[in-house]
């Protein structure tokens, strides 16, 4: 029995189709645009095509993320905190802390002994400690965002970046460049600054092993190294850090179905008006 999860984040939309054994059958990631409703269907269609399924075969669909209310074919809308926890519980049963570094926000989630949410903290008021922060600084440095981890690995030490306000940090980086600072050391300093920000935010929850880092930030090996240095031990990352929320959404749908909850409206693949 397949279940669908869709996570509409600030920058990326992710879909996962999972089975009753909590195995991923297919997944797809696409950029989040202004037309959430049409995008949600397009990304879902692509994922269904990969899995060789039609939407009427999905037993339950859960939407999550900040755009979750704009998914007309979802049976439930669930917060991303709950969905991230459920996805990580399936991938890393030993996880106690999740640090999620997204495009526009970052969050820390504390899991209890059963892998459920015990507490959480979130930074969603500014770009500090987010992918957007790194993206802006990468543009200032004239480098590609995806190359930042490799560039930082070549650094011998790091340049202290004191400001986490994107505007002020951009000015500070420009000043460091004018002073002749090494680009690799500046990038390493940025990773140190973000790691300090997200770890200090999460420390209020009580950091303990195992810590799992998710979101786009988890693809940056320089940032992962910096976070590990702040917590004092190696941290874990999922095989595909972008899709843990969507995976969790699919598994939350499975949990609903297992408890006897059924979709309020039958899905029919030929019913085009259902999605408009």
Domains annotated for the chain, with CATH where assigned, are: 3-84+244-275 (3.30.420.40), 112-237 (3.30.420.40)
Task: Tally Cβ neighbours within 10 Å of residue 156.
Answer: 8
The two tokens of residue 162 are 């004191």
Q: Give the CA angle between residues 10, 166, 125 to the nearest 5°.
A: 50
* Cα gap 74→36, rounded to integer Å: 13
122-149 burial, b at 16+ Cβ within 10 Å, e below that, comes to ebeeebbbbbbbbbbbbebbebebeebb
pLDDT the model gives residue 274: 47
pTM: 0.90
Burial of 34 (0-12, 13-18, 19+ CB in 10 A): exposed
pLDDT attached to residue 203: 94
Q: How far apart are CA 232 and CA 24, in angstroms?
A: 32
pLDDT of residue 128: 66
Which residue(s) pair with 76 in the sheet? 62
**Is residue 195 classed as helix, strand or coil in its secondary structure?**
helix
* Pairing of the two strands 12-18 and 61-64: unpaired
Dihedral sign computed on CA atoms, order 222, 227, 228, 234 = negative
In tens digits, what is the pLDDT along the chain, a chain of 276 residues? 999 999 998 788 999 999 999 999 999 998 887 666 677 888 999 999 999 999 999 999 999 998 899 898 999 999 999 999 999 999 999 999 999 998 778 899 999 999 999 999 998 666 666 778 888 888 889 998 889 999 999 988 898 888 777 778 888 899 989 999 899 999 999 899 889 989 999 999 999 999 999 998 899 999 999 999 999 999 999 999 999 999 999 999 999 999 999 997 777 655 444 454
SS3 content of the chain, % helix, strand, coil (to 5): 45, 20, 35
DSSP string of 132-181, one letter each residue? HHHHHHHHHHT--GGGHHHHHHT-SS-------SHHHHHHHHHHHHHTT-
pLDDT at 124: 62
């Amino acid at each position: 029995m397949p279940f669908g999860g869709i996570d509409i984040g600030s920058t990326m939309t992710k879909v996962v189709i999972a089975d009753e054994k909590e195995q991923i059958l297919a997944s797809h990631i696409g950029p989040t645009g202004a037309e959430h409703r049409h995008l949600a269907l397009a990304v879902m269609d692509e994922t269904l095509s990969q899995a060789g399924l039609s939407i009427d075969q999905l037993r339950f669909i859960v939407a999550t993320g900040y755009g979750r209310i704009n998914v007309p074919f979802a049976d439930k809308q669930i917060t991303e905190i709950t969905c991230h926890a459920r996805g990580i519980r399936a991938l890393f049963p030993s996880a106690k802390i999740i640090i999620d570094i997204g495009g526009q926000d970052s969050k820390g989630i504390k899991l209890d002994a059963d892998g459920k949410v015990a507490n959480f903290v979130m930074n969603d008021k500014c770009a500090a400690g987010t992918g957007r922060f790194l993206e802006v600084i990468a543009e200032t440095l004239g480098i590609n965002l995806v190359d930042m981890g490799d560039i930082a690995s070549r650094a011998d030490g790091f340049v202290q970046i004191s400001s986490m306000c994107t505007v002020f940090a951009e000015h500070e980086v420009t000043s460091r460049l004018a002073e002749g600072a090494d680009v690799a050391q500046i990038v390493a300093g940025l990773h140190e600054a973000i790691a300090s920000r997200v770890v200090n935010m999460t420390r209020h929850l009580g950091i303990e092993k195992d810590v799992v880092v998710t979101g786009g930030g988890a693809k940056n090996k320089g940032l992962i190294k910096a976070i590990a240095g702040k917590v004092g031990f190696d941290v874990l990352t999922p095989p595909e850090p972008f899709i843990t929320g969507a995976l969790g959404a699919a598994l939350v749908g499975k949990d609903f179905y297992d408890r006897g909850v059924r979709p309020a409206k039958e899905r029919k693949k030929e019913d085009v008006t259902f999605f408009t």
